[in-house]
């Protein structure tokens, strides 16, 4: 075991699979010589050469299109989109090609592409470097969508993603890139280097895609969330003093609905939280699923807490996404409301 933050865990995952499988290729803007804007690919060019770590032009459609072609020809490309905000020029390639190849060819062809991209706020990046577009991709049949909340899961899920024959969008919450929260999760991190790291195996292992994790057991309330807000939710439940069960979805699509349903049937109450805009967000699908399956067990209406229904505001970044106070208020409302 080694102490790693999420950046180091993601880099280790790519190193492990590239060493194990010569067909794994990394490509994207600044991933080679510069080592990535967040240093996730630092050192891979020196170790594996420029035929396996490829600096691409600023053309996301070209990056995704090239990766699809590589996958169709027997490679396992890991394409980095520098920020999730930049993925839209490649969206047509993802939806019209990558997600449809296996279905369109009746299983004759497939392209095992993993697209890595940092998402969410917390670095004062404004509306063009802070978006959380995961719901857009969970809507698309034919691709899987993953978002880890800690270094251990980040490495295990990324290895599983690269080795999967299915195309996968791998979102990386950059607010927790350099370590889990230390202290108040609502306070902006000034020096991320001081944050504690997590224990991560140095070698090969996988975390299964399609399985949620109960990160905090409880009996009074179920909080369903993922990414950065896993840490915020746990802190909010602690602050309110509610025996809340916090579930990290991890795999947004496919969804481990059984774990969520079992928890809500046990607690009778549910709060869903995500950093992305609330209206039309991924939480709406979670709410619909749990409402359908747990209706007769609910003691209060399911409640959602999300980002503001506005473009990402640079000046009010820490007010935009749900912090400990907003989640605590949501917890209180669910606990005080009768069905």
Annotated active-site positions, please?
Answer: 129
Six-digit token string for 178: 């350099």
Torsions phi, psi for 13 (to 5 deg): -60, -45
What does the alpha-carbon distance between residue 138 and residue 62 come to, in Å, rounded to a whole number? 22
Please, which residues bridge with residue 246 across strands?
Answer: 216, 223
Sheet order of strands, 213-216 included = 213-216, 244-248, 221-225, 270-277, 303-307
The set of residues, in sequence order, having a beta carbon less than 8 Å from that of 160 and lying 6+ positions away, is: 206, 207, 208, 209
Closest C-alpha to 302, from 254, 252, 263, 253: 263
**How large is the angle between the packed helices 151-163 and 6-20, nearest 10 degrees?**
30
Q: Is 72 exposed, middle or buried (0-12, 13-18, 19+ CB in 10 A)?
A: middle
The set of residues, in sequence order, having a beta carbon less than 8 Å from that of 247 and lying 6+ positions away, is: 212, 213, 214, 215, 222, 223, 224, 225, 259, 260, 263
Please, which residues bridge with residue 198 across strands?
Answer: 4
Please, which residues bridge with residue 76 across strands?
Answer: 24
Residue 316 DSSP label? T
Residue 193 DSSP label? G
């Amino acid at each position: 075991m080694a102490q790693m933050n999420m950046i180091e865990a993601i880099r280790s995952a790519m190193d492990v699979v590239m060493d194990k499988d010569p067909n794994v290729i990394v490509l994207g803007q600044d991933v080679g010589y510069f080592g990535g804007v967040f240093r996730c690919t630092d050192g891979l060019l020196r170790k594996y050469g420029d035929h396996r770590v490829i600096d691409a032009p600023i053309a996301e459609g070209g990056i995704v299109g090239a990766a699809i072609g590589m996958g169709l020809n027997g490679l396992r490309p890991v394409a980095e989109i520098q920020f999730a905000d930049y993925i839209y020029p490649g969206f047509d390639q993802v939806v019209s090609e990558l997600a449809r190849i296996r279905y369109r060819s009746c299983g004759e062809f497939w392209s095992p592409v993993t697209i890595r991209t940092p998402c969410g706020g917390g670095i004062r990046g404004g509306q063009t470097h802070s978006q959380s577009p995961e719901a857009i991709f969970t809507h698309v049949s034919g691709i899987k969508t993953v978002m880890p909340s800690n270094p251990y899961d980040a490495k295990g899920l990324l290895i599983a993603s690269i080795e999967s024959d299915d195309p996968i969008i791998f979102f990386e919450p950059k607010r927790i890139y350099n370590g889990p929260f230390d202290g108040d999760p609502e306070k902006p991190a000034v020096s991320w280097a001081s944050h504690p790291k997590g224990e991560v195996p140095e070698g090969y292992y996988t975390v299964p895609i399609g399985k949620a994790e109960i990160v905090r057991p409880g009996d009074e309330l179920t909080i369903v969330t993922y990414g950065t807000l896993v840490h915020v939710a746990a802190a909010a439940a602690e602050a309110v003093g509610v025996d809340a069960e916090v579930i990290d979805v991890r795999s947004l699509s496919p969804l481990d609905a059984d774990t969520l349903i079992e928890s809500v049937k046990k607690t009778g109450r549910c709060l869903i939280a995500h950093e992305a805009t609330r209206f039309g967000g991924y939480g709406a699908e979670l709410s619909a699923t749990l409402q359908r399956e747990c209706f007769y067990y609910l003691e209060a209406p399911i409640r959602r807490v999300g980002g503001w229904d506005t473009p990402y505001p640079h000046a009010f970044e820490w007010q935009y996404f749900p912090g400990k106070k907003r989640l605590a208020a949501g917890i209180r409302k669910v606990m005080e409301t009768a069905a």
